[in-house]
């Protein structure tokens, strides 16, 4: 066998066993919020094996988190770790790797995502948009609750605008100035 062809075949064989990032579909959600997922690629005409008990990732830090409730059928990106995550997953502290596995498909995290070709058939009725100026638009057909355990939702649309338009500060312990016209701060989206 020619030397360059041998090197090319060995390189392809090595790269066939290195995973970095794969789109997948959730097939099961466990009580601990880990998921089972089916990668969307086929190898040699066959579905890749489903992966089980994958930890879900959310944007956040020690103080805050944006939690997206996932459902079976939702899409995730499987982000494959460089090294074995078994010991890391126990308590999140720095540790020695448990095995010699590198870029093993079983050592991954699932990140929920919305990508137009995948989600175009779904009705995305719940949206939060933050534009470049910092304006926040919330679109939902459901209620918006402020604080865990809230029993009343935030008034939306016209009822919120009506309430804000009639709201003033004056007398008593608050400032004696009128509030700015809420219509200049709150926009009704039709």
What distance in Å separates the CA atoms of residue 106 and residue 78, rounded to the nearest whole number? 10
Q: For 119-126, which contacts have Cβ atoms below 8 Å and span 24 or more sequence positions?
A: 119/75
Cβ neighbours around 51 below 10 Å, total: 21
Domain spans of the chain, in order of start? 3-119, 125-190
> From first to last of its 190 residues, what are the pLDDT tens digits of the chain?
577 888 887 777 766 667 778 899 999 999 988 999 999 988 888 998 899 999 998 887 777 777 778 889 999 999 988 777 776 666 667 767 767 777 777 888 999 987 766 665 455 667 777 777 777 777 777 777 666 666 666 666 677 767 667 766 655 554 555 555 555 555 555 4
Which of 94, 108, 1 is CA-nearest to residue 52? 108
The CATH architecture assigned to 3-119 reads Beta Barrel (2.40)
């Amino acid at each position: 066998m020619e030397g360059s062809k041998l090197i090319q075949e060995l390189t392809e064989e090595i790269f066939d066993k290195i995973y970095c990032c794969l789109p997948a579909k959730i097939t099961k959600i466990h009580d601990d919020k880990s998921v089972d997922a089916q990668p969307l690629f086929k190898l040699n005409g066959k579905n890749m094996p489903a992966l089980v008990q994958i930890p879900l990732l959310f944007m956040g830090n020690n103080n805050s988190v944006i939690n997206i409730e996932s459902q079976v059928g939702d899409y995730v990106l499987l982000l494959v770790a460089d090294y074995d995550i078994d010991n890391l997953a126990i308590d999140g502290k720095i540790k020695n790797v448990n095995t010699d596995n590198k870029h093993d498909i079983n050592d991954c995290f699932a990140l929920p995502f919305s990508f137009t070709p995948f989600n175009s058939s779904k009705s995305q009725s719940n949206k939060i948009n933050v534009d470049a100026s910092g304006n926040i638009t919330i679109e939902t057909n459901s209620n918006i609750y402020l604080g865990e355990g809230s029993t009343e939702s935030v008034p939306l649309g016209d009822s919120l605008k009506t309430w804000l338009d009639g709201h003033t500060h004056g007398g008593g312990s608050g400032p004696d100035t009128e509030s700015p016209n809420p219509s200049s701060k709150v926009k009704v989206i039709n």
